Amino acid sequence: MTTQSLSELRGPFDVLVVGGGITGAGVARDAARRGLNVLLVEQSDLASGTSSRSSKLVHGGLRYLEQGELSLVFEAVAERRVLLDIAPHLVRPLPFLLPVFSDSRRGMFTINIGMWLYDGLSLFRSPKLHKSLSRKRVRAAEPDLRHDGLKGAQVYYDCATDDARLTLETVLDAVRYGATVLTHTRVERWLTENGRVTGCALKDQLTDEEVEVSCTVAVNATGPWSDTVRGDGDAVSDPRMRPTKGVHIVVNASRLKLSHAVCCMHPDDGRVFFTIPWGDQTYIGTTDTDFEGDPGHVYADLSDVDYLLKATNDYFPGQDITHEDVISTWAGVRPLVGDEEAENESSVSREHSLVREPNGVVTIAGGKLTTYRKMAEEVVDLVVTELDAKGTSVDGLQASETETDPLPGAVGWPERGGKKQIVSAVQDFSEGLINKVTAKHLVSVLGMRAIDLAERVAADPDAAAPLVQGRPEILGQVDWAVSVELARTVTDVMMRRTQLYYRDDEQGIAAVQVVAGRMANHLGWSEDEAAAQAAAYLEEVERSRRWRSELTD
């Protein structure tokens, strides 16, 4: 069940999960599937924090291999396999090219050994085994890559995903198993009895409605906010987070056309960054700098953009990518668990920490998008122990089977090579109103659920209209986002249900009024409310372009 009115909320809940990023989503899914009564509360939109601002890779992480974090790599490549199975529409194999130059830190031979280790840690079940390419074959594969000093390359396989949609579908599965989900609702403070948390006070950020709700166990899954939530809004004396900021920039693929993700080292500091093909776009990232401040207000600065452009032009010198080529950016805060020993930001561990606080709250922080499912399993095991200790019967709980059961868009997904038939089915179910390009787009974001959307379009032909001329996103996606995918604001739709904010040359500005109008019909907004919603999105776009104003200062 989902509810948008706090007055309809029925507690008490077995588990209150605070934070609707991938971590909270995973915990809610696992707990609901075991049969627990779950409430998930997110202060903004699902995945609006770090979980829509990652590098969008489901990967073991070659960097962690280099740092000797073998257990982390082992777990991550195992989870990569699981996610490929349970979300094949969202998690796709991606070839990575790791070029070797005459001045590279490591030569072809050493890297090849590392690649064997990487394949071995996945028990040779990576999407494909790595291979070595000669200089000539690298030049054929990626003609724009610098060839001065090029010796050859290794090609290996990891996966790419849509991080926001992976989070969303995880939540939708939790809802399917009975979880209650509140978005744009903040946990304002804990309710306690004898120093133990018994619930929390909630406030809907869009309606100002407030309510108190009780729970047996509370989970703090607020990523970079976790110290703030631990401290109930006040600073804690023992902060665990060492947050770092990571920025990505997006350019059109016509300016940087790639057939592999290319793994590069920054010429200034030797840090690894990627240039990643993304359909008609390419994104480049990431930076890694210490961060202080509100994780909800993090944007690219000019220095971040320049850092990424410098490295890109070093690797692709003929392309001459400039500030004008950058169509959008995103910045996220890594919820890294502090490590006083770490020499610099990039060497802070990506492992997670799971702590039962003195007030009984279970705090989960750190980790990676890739390992969220496994991390959630560990959290819910601890939650069950806590419930048991508090006298809640846990005897009838089920196995959660999150490892094998598909996410909603993957239910019925064909074993191999059947995507073409689904694309045709989408066109057929829409009675020809959806063209092939849009059908492909819908299948890649919704999986099998694209067929349900196509049926809606057949019933309401206006819904087939494109949101921006020449682009594949359609009006029907707005209806779908509101009625099925828990979207409540124009920004939710523009940024995370569609990716117009990132992918359109004008960040979807041409579609904003139409989106606001359509949402107003569904959500009963007045004209003023719709206008305020559109304005809020435009302000968000402006903030993301702030780095441009530094160019003229």
Chain residues binding ligand FAD by CB under 6 A are 18-24, 41-44, 48-51, 53-57, 59, 186-187, 221-225, 229, 246, 286, 332-335, 367-370
Return the number of the residue (222 or 489) whose C-beta is nearest ligand FAD: 222
Nearer to ligand FAD, 219 or 453 (CB): 219
Kindly state the smallest distance separating residue 449's Cβ from ligand FAD, in Å.
23
Exposed/middle/buried for 217, CB within 10 Å: 0-12, 13-18, 19+? buried
Minimum CB distance to ligand FAD, residue 19 (Å): 3
Residue (72 or 442) nearer to ligand FAD, CB: 72
Minimum distance of ligand FAD from residue 349's CB (angstroms)? 12
DSSP SS3 for 126: coil
Minimum CB distance to ligand FAD smaller for 450 or for 486: 486
Closest CB to ligand FAD among residues 261, 422: 261
Whichever of 55 and 444 has its CB closer to ligand FAD, that residue is 55
The answer to whether the CB of 66 falls within 8 A of the CB of 114 is: yes
Write down the H helix ranges in 231-323: 302-315
Q: Whats the size of the chain, residue-wise?
A: 553
488's tokens: 């409540």
Pick between residue 21 and residue 409 the one whose CB is nearest to ligand FAD: 21
Question: CA-CA distance, 228 to 226, in Å (whole number)?
Answer: 5
Neighbours of 521 (CB within 10 A): 12
CA distance 425 to 413: 12
Shortest Cβ 248–ligand FAD spacing (Å): 7
The 3-state secondary structure of 40-88, one letter per residue: EECCCCCCCCHHHCCCCEECCCHHHHHCCCHHHHHHHHHHHHHHHHHCC
**Directed axis angle between helix 476-483 and helix 512-523, to 10°?**
40
Residue 305 zone, left/alpha/beta (φ > 0; ψ -120 to 50; rest):
alpha
Q: How far is the CB of 124 from ligand FAD (least distance, A)?
A: 21
Q: Nearest-CA neighbor of 39 among 217, 207, 296?
A: 217
| Residue number, 144 or 377, with CB nearest to ligand FAD | 377
Shortest Å distance, C-beta 496 to ligand FAD:
11
Q: How far is the CB of 186 from ligand FAD (least distance, A)?
A: 4
